[in-house]
Amino acid sequence: MTMSCPQCGTGMVETPAGAASVQQCPEGHGVFLPQAALGALVEAETDWHRYAGQHTAPMPRITPDMEAAPPPTRLPARAWVETLF
């Protein structure tokens, strides 16, 4: 089944994501995944945090006084899902 990106109309590409498979826009507009794939990704994310232990930090809370973050650098992943895309 070939899907088109709802934003740009480009054909989406099937990409493996751990034990699941997702449809991803090659232009970077987003991904589509079936409900079963979402469940597999959630389980993998939970396992990743369980075994990463003290090497992960909670996501910061967004407050009105925050400034924009500097351009991203290649840091260790904060979550398993970050290692996929």
Q: What is the 3-state secondary structure (H, E, C) of 14-47?
A: EEEECCEEEEECCCCCCEECCHHHHHHHHHHHHH
Read off the pLDDT of residues 9-52 as tens digits, 9 standing for 90 and up: 999 999 888 778 889 999 989 888 888 888 888 888 888 777 77
Tell me how many domains the chain contains: 1
> Is 73 among the domain residues?
no
Residue 9 structural domain? 1-52
pTM for this prediction? 0.48
Laid out side by side, the sheet with 13-17 consists of 13-17, 20-24, 31-32
Residue 21 lies in a domain: yes
Tally of residues, the chain: 85
